[in-house]
Amino acid sequence: MKRIAVLSTSFGFGPVSKAVTVGKTFRKQHPDVEMCFFGAGIALEFATRSGTFDQIIDVDVDRVEVLSEHLPELRRFTAVVSILNLDILPLWRKHVDPPLFLVDSLAWMWKEPPEGLANVETYFIQDYLLEGRKPSGVHEMPIAPIDACWHLPRHTAKAHLLVNLSGCHNPIVGGQMYRRYAEVLVRGIAEVSHDRFPEVVVCCNADLAAWIRSWLSDPSFIRVEHLPHDEFLALMAQSASFLTSPGITTTVEAISLGVSPRFLLPQNYSQALIAQRYDDESPGIPGMPLHRFGEQHRIQLGLAESIGVARVLESISSILTNPEAVVSAIGQVMNAPGTNLSVLRSHISGTWDRPGQSIVVSRVAAAMGLSSE
């Protein structure tokens, strides 16, 4: 039996969401292929709830030493697809190991190609924020965004406010910062929106959802859920207003569903860069970039990633010590005109006539000797 392994970093829900979307597309076209997911934490949780994979292996692929121990197992698959896990690249042996494919939605951030990129069969670069540029690499293939909403119908807008806190998770950051993030933002959203919506639905990971419920004073007004992805997308399509952290995956889903997002305080380095770029280049997009809370929080371009990550985390922690300023910013975002979706979509330089997952599946299936649709 032909078997495919999919592994995903657990930096938020974006990578594992792409893994599930690629997996579902592969399953639809090639139902006889066995699919196995390798991941840990919120990535494992998300993949399990999706019901997409035949087998789920609890492996912290973000720890090189743990990933290395599982290389013999991974090498027994017919093909391997990595969604934003870069650690596997230098460990792989092209022409010796099965074909390895990399799907990268953060290529716009890299100053140089990831280490070990020459070991991949194809490097899929998701076209968002590239704006016609692409990093040099091996066997590059810029693709339209991976889009779980590609075939979903749009729904009539309902009355609720949907709040997406994304994964609110980072393997290198303790959970306390994200608890503080969730507390300040959920309390602020409740204060600003109480007379405007009959219900607020907050979506986040399971542990954070349970913690928010433990101190929530009005559960009849704010519902906190960790939902399967399909249910979350349905809620998004039906929402009267949508607040989200500025991650690319959810932004692409909103564009596809015709839902106008408003962006919350960034949670990590990539989101902070996105929010700052929107504010600098498309100021009509309502959001809360870090420098709105003081120019000392502006991110200098060209920083080494480790330095940029550390400075963003310091800024987020500092901003959260002033909840009043955060609540004021939430009010401004909610009162601003909705995002013009054509402006958001302008950050995709290519066409969007075929979702990225279809191209990934075709290439992987061809390398496995399977016919493609």
Residue 136 placed within a domain:
yes
Q: Do 230 and 134 fall into the same domain? A: no
Rg (the chain; Cα; Å)? 20
Asked if the structure places residue 277 within a domain, the reply is yes
Specify whether 11 is located in the same domain as 111: yes
Residue 151 lies in a domain: no
CATH of the domain at 306: 3.40.50
In this structure, are 43 and 117 located in the same domain? yes
Domain of residue 323 covers 161-345
Considering the domain boundaries, does residue 372 fall inside one? no
Q: Which DSSP symbol is given to 39?
A: E
pLDDT tens per residue across span 49-101 = 999 999 999 999 999 999 999 999 999 999 999 999 999 999 999 999 999 99
> Residue 11: which CATH number?
3.40.50.2000
Nearest to 365 by CA among 48, 125, 122: 122
Q: CA-CA distance, 270 to 186, in Å (whole number)?
A: 22
Task: Look at residue 359 and tell me if it is in a domain.
Answer: yes
Q: How many CA atoms lie within 13 A of 141 on its CB side?
A: 19
pLDDT tens profile 220-254: 889 999 988 889 999 999 999 999 999 999 999 99
Whether residues 195 and 134 share a domain: the answer is no
Both 58 and 41 in one domain: the answer is: yes
**Residue 93 and residue 222 share a domain:** no
Claim to verify: residue 266 and residue 167 sit in the same structural domain: yes
Is residue 260 in some structural domain? yes
The tally of domains found in the chain comes to 2
Overall residue count recorded for the chain in this entry = 373
Q: Does residue 100 sit in the same domain as residue 183?
A: no
Same domain, 181 and 315: yes
Query: Model-level pTM?
Result: 0.89
User: Do 222 and 79 share a structural domain?
Assistant: no
pLDDT tens track for 105-125: 998 888 888 999 999 999 999
3-state secondary structure 167-221: CCCCCCCCHHHHHHHHHHHHHHHHHHHCCCCCCEEEECCHHHHHHHHHHCCCCCC
List, for residues 1-21, the tens digit of each pLDDT value: 899 999 999 888 899 999 999
Question: Do 193 and 323 share a structural domain?
Answer: yes
